[in-house]
């Protein structure tokens, strides 16, 4: 609790002729800044000429405030509203949605083939994720890379923006074609987590391209040629995919520091 | 209004130099653009001069912690920048204007500077005030709510300077900041440099010797990725003779130093 200075001390503080030692003056000054009551006491003790001067200053300040520009409205800052990068993602997301739309149509046209939506689900988010963390495609990468916020959190935010579009489209596509919802969404999340985890070691872009190519060659191509859904996408594998997703996400969390290092923003 | 001073603000400086490079090597693609550079910079405005391809921009990028040094030691604000370093603390004290900076054309100057302030992890409550102050300092007050795509080249440059100074950086790196500024704006910019250089380390790369002489407390001359010369502007002017190329004593000093360095390197 602060003790208020006595009225006598305030009177001496206010009187230019009275002497007050510096330490007392400072403590009175600091107290006055935070105490309206003592300020009111002070006003009663100041000499008349000072009061006239203060009134003149107050009137001048009021006039200037009235004549000056209106203060800018208080804006609430939120990163969500400043969705800078999302605009740059739009073309890629449009492409992903278009490809998935084509897959749905193809499935309707050629029912003997295995579910294309399920086959493409794991690699659907990869173009967006690769784009989101690529120095070639972010015009401001040089500005962003030198800031403390650059790191896993930023990559995850951008990935979330990609998933927010891709996941509903996949869900819609799988229900339309009658494919298993879990076997569409879980591999999609697992591959996203894998791209980020591998990205800690080799760069997200390389990781996404590598995973995409590997999946296309190892699973999609044979499945289309043999017209059978591969074993890894059979409905029984849902638990394995879920565990894989969790493990990869955990690993990515452990490697979070890598995204802040100098080489990670490829 | 009173403000709480944080412990970090009053902590004693325990590093002798804000920027300290020892035998620094940095690659630009396959080419080693900075090759064995020794440099120590303290508080003040340091003008970085050198011909095209001398490694100025690459050095700037390394100091901005955007590219990784290929060898040697680089210490920023007392912390070594390397593979294992947590750069977050250092980066909070950095301000960087790249030579060419991308931006998102839909955003206004204020939003751009706000976004950068947010990325620099400034306390949320201080951002609007700091942004307004930075925009005022570069003279863009009237254009604060104009979209980035409507700005002229010089205004963009100034918006870039505003985002660099918004967090009151301890190390401010400006790569070619005077490109596109008209003569009057350049004078104002020099004033700003002197102002910022009072208590932080400013490294300005430029081709304009006159800017360095007018606004800098220290001249750093680079060629072929190495340090050629470091001294005060008056000393740079004293290096040149009547026979050297240039229209001012400083320009003559600049060309004399480069000529001497090239002759030594050629031997």
Q: How far apart are CA A59 and CA A56, in angstroms?
A: 5
Asked if residue B155 belongs to a domain, the reply is: yes
* Bigger pLDDT: B80 vs A81: B80
Task: Give the per-residue pLDDT at B117.
Answer: 92
What is the Cα A46 distance to its own chain's centre?
Answer: 54
- Give the residues across from B227 on adjacent strands: B222
Q: What is the mean pLDDT of chain B?
A: 87
> How many structural domains are present in chain B?
1
Asked if residue B148 belongs to a domain, the reply is: yes
CA atoms within 13 A on the CB side of B191: 9
- Would you list which residues of chain B are within 8 Å, Cβ to Cβ, of chain A? 2, 61, 64-68, 81, 83, 86-89, 91-92, 94, 96, 98, 100-104, 106-107, 111, 114-116, 118-121, 124, 127-128, 132, 163
Contact B118, A77 (CB under 8 A): yes
Asked if residue B118 belongs to a domain, the reply is: yes
The answer to whether the Cβ–Cβ distance between A82 and B107 falls below 8 Å is yes
Q: What SS3 class is residue A95?
A: helix
Nearest by Cα to A40 from A65, A14, A19: A14
The shares of helix, strand and coil residues in chain B, as percent rounded to the nearest 5, are 40, 25, 35
Asked if residue B222 belongs to a domain, the reply is: no
Asked if residue B202 belongs to a domain, the reply is: no
Q: What's the average model confidence in pLDDT over B61-74?
A: 88
Asked if residue B210 belongs to a domain, the reply is: no
What is the Cα B94 distance to its own chain's centre?
Answer: 10
Nearest C-alpha in A relative to B173: A146
Asked if residue B266 belongs to a domain, the reply is: no
The answer to whether the Cβ–Cβ distance between A82 and B86 falls below 8 Å is no
In chain A, domain spans? 7-67, 84-260
Mean pLDDT by 10-residue block, N- to C-terminus, for chain A (266 residues)? 80 82 89 90 84 92 86 62 66 87 84 81 87 75 83 84 88 80 87 89 87 91 83 80 91 78 48
Q: Which of A138, A142, A260 sits opposite B98 (nearest CB)?
A: A142
Nearest by Cα to B215 from B228, B206, B223, B224: B206
CB pairs under 8 A between A and B: 91
pLDDT tens digits for B248-263? 888 899 999 999 988 8
Asked if residue B247 belongs to a domain, the reply is: no
The answer to whether the Cβ–Cβ distance between B119 and A150 falls below 8 Å is yes
- Give the residues across from B229 on adjacent strands: B221
Domain containing B133 equals 99-168
């Amino acid at each position: 609790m602060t003790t208020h200075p006595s009225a006598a001390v305030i009177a001496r503080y206010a009187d230019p002729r009275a002497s007050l030692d510096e330490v007392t003056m400072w403590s009175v000054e600091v107290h006055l800044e935070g105490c309206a009551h003592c300020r009111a006491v002070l006003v009663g003790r100041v000499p008349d000429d000072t009061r006239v001067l203060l009134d003149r200053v107050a009137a001048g300040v009021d006039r200037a405030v009235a004549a000056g520009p209106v203060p800018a409205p208080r804006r609430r800052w939120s990163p969500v509203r400043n969705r800078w990068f999302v605009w740059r993602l739009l073309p890629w997301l449009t492409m992903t949605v278009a490809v998935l739309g084509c897959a749905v149509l193809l499935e309707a046209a050629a029912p003997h083939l295995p579910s294309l939506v399920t086959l493409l689900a794991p690699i659907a988010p990869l173009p967006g994720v690769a784009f989101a963390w690529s120095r070639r495609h972010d015009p401001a990468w040089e500005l962003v890379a030198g800031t403390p916020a650059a790191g896993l959190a930023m990559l995850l935010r951008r990935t979330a923006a990609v998933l927010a579009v891709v996941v509903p489209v996949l869900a819609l596509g799988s229900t339309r074609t009658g494919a298993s919802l879990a076997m569409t969404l879980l591999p999609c999340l697992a591959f996203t987590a894998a791209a980020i985890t591998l990205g800690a070691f080799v760069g997200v872009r390389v990781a996404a391209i590598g995973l995409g190519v590997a999946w296309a060659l190892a699973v999609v191509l044979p499945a289309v040629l043999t017209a059978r859904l591969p074993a890894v996408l059979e409905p029984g594998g849902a638990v394995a995919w879920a565990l894989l997703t969790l493990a990869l996400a955990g690993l990515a969390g452990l490697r979070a520091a890598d995204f802040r290092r100098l080489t990670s923003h490829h | 209004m009173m403000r709480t001073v944080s412990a970090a603000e009053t902590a004693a400086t325990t590093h002798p130099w804000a920027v300290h490079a020892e035998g620094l090597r940095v690659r630009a693609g396959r080419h080693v653009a900075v090759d064995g550079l020794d440099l120590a910079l303290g508080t003040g405005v340091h003008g970085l001069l050198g011909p095209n391809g001398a490694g100025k921009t690459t050095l700037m990028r390394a100091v901005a912690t955007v590219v990784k040094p290929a060898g040697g030691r680089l210490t920023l604000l007392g912390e070594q920048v390397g593979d294992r370093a947590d750069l977050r603390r250092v980066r909070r004290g950095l301000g960087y204007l790249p030579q060419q900076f991308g931006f998102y054309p839909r955003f206004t100057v204020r939003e751009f500077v706000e976004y950068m302030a947010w990325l620099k992890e400034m306390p949320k409550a201080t951002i609007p005030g700091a942004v307004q102050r930075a925009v005022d300092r570069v003279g863009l007050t009237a254009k604060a709510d104009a979209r980035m795509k409507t700005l002229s080249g010089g205004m963009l440059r100034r918006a870039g300077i505003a985002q660099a100074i918004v967090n009151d950086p301890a190390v401010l790196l400006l790569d070619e900041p005077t490109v596109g500024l008209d003569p009057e704006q350049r004078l104002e910019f020099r004033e700003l440099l002197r102002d910022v250089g009072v208590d932080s380390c400013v490294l300005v790369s430029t081709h304009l010797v006159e800017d360095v002489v007018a606004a800098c407390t220290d001249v750093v001359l680079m060629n072929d990725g190495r340090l050629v010369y470091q001294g005060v502007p008056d000393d740079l002017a004293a290096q040149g003779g009547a026979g050297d190329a240039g229209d001012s004593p400083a320009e003559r000093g600049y060309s004399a130093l480069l000529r001497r360095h090239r002759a030594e390197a050629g031997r």
